[in-house]
């Protein structure tokens, strides 16, 4: 039986599912069962064999959710580690073939920082610019492929502005130009909202994690298509020699349950989220002047809404909304303590000043239509209050008085 995660009964409204979704009751139940397994999966005695069996069962479940073979799934400590293993592991393994990689300029920081680390090792990196809605053009990607290109990484769905990239077309564009170039996609935002079948997408490497799919934090997985070689970044004997460290049966069970529940609910839940997302967009645009939507209106993550408001600071908005019991973000959770404008918004050509007034609201299983109206009312009032006391408003008033 599948169970939907419920909101806390504390009057708060959680609108930051892209940063981390609550643990579903179904996943929690599966993890409770796994918590009784205390052996080390690498041990040969009975407790170790039981742990190994449970771990491999979880691997089978993850593989099934992704349309992969169990032997193609590597457990990691997070989505960020999966990204780093895909980029650094593949690039280093292919360094004798070529030393050029391609990434989009709106990737998650885990990809971008891995790419910059590779540059320090002598790799050449091309950072592809998106269009104003965040799309990477297949033609632009194909033209960037060189004779020494070994790897391309373009995320499936952007965590900040919700753009769903045409991954299949991007893969086809690369294959037509250079069939042996590997293609990686960060799909951490996709489970439960988009199809995540690796064969449908055609990718060689795909990163997922638990925390975005109503599973536990601290666990991720990397799909590695059969025949693809990786150099480990955490050395050891576990995970087929690709990722060292004693595996957590508890977390692996949680990830497996989360991915399978998300996939089982997707056809019902994704359309519901789309309706609520579009309602939130229409409410904000009709009630708040100067609201600018970032990202596309079509081919957008069902859960994602990201606006900027002129004359308002994003951090001030978040604090005031928090005081009113609403949790949301200015962009990526990994940037929450960084006051610099979002690299994603800058990459799609937004004005830096406007970027400072952005707020990302992401909805989930517990979000209702009533929540959308509440969020809009509170946001409207907060923006109005902040604009009334902003330096820009005061300056205009002074100029008028003179």
| Per annotation, catalytic residue among 88, 334, 355, 399 | 334
Tally: H helices and E strands in the chain: 13, 12
Cα distances from 372 to residues 29, 47, 131, 361, in angstroms, run: 30, 49, 29, 10
Count CB-CB contacts under 10 A for residue 56. Answer: 15
Cα distances from 161 to residues 9, 164, 272, 314, 346, in angstroms, run: 29, 9, 19, 15, 12
Whether 334 is a known active-site residue: answer yes
Do strands 291-293 and 358-362 pair parallel, antiparallel, or not at all (unpaired)? unpaired
Count CB-CB contacts under 10 A for residue 350. Answer: 19
- Which DSSP helix (H) or strand (E) runs through 102? strand 100-104
Reading the block at residue 253, the tokens are 């069970």
Cα gap 222→28, rounded to integer Å? 22
Q: Are 194 and 262 in contact (CB under 8 A)?
A: no
Cα gap 204→233, rounded to integer Å? 18
Active site residues: 334
């Amino acid at each position: 039986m599948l169970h939907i995660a419920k909101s806390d009964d504390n009057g708060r409204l959680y609108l930051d599912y892209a940063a981390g979704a609550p643990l579903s009751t179904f996943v929690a139940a599966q993890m409770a069962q796994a918590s009784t397994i205390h052996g080390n999966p690498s041990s040969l005695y009975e407790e170790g064999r039981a742990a190994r069996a449970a771990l491999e069962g979880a691997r089978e479940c993850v593989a099934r959710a992704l349309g992969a073979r169990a032997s193609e799934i590597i457990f990691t400590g997070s989505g960020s580690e999966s990204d780093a293993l895909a980029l650094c592991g593949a690039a280093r393994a292919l360094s004798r073939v070529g030393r050029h990689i391609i990434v989009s300029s709106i990737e998650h920081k885990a990809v971008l920082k891995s790419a910059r680390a590779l540059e320090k090792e002598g790799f050449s990196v091309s950072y592809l610019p998106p269009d104003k809605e965040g799309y990477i053009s297949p033609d632009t990607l194909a033209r960037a492929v060189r004779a020494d290109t070994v790897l391309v990484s373009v995320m499936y769905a952007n965590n900040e502005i919700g753009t769903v990239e045409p991954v299949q077309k991007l893969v086809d564009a690369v294959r037509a130009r250079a069939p042996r170039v590997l293609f990686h996609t960060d799909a951490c935002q996709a489970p439960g909202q988009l199809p995540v079948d690796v064969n449908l997408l055609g990718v060689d490497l795909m990163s997922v994690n638990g925390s975005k799919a109503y599973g536990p934090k601290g666990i991720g997985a990397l799909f590695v298509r059969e025949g693809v070689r990786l150099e480990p970044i955490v050395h050891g004997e576990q995970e087929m020699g690709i990722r060292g460290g004693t595996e957590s049966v508890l977390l692996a069970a949680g990830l497996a349950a989360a991915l399978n529940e998300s996939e089982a609910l997707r056809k019902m839940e994704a359309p519901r989220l789309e309706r609520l997302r579009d309602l939130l967009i229409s409410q904000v645009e009709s009630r708040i002047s100067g609201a600018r939507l970032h990202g596309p209106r079509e081919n957008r993550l069902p859960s994602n809404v990201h606006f900027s408001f002129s004359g308002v600071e994003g951090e001030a908005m978040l604090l005031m909304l928090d005081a009113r019991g609403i949790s949301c973000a200015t962009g990526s959770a990994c940037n929450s303590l960084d006051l610099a404008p979002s690299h994603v918004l800058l990459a799609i050509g937004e004005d830096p000043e406007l970027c400072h007034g952005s707020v990302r609201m992401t909805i989930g299983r517990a979000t209702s239509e009533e929540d959308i109206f509440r969020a809009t009312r509170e946001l409207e009032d907060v923006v109005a209050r902040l604009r009334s006391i902003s330096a820009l408003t005061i300056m205009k008033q002074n100029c008028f008085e003179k």
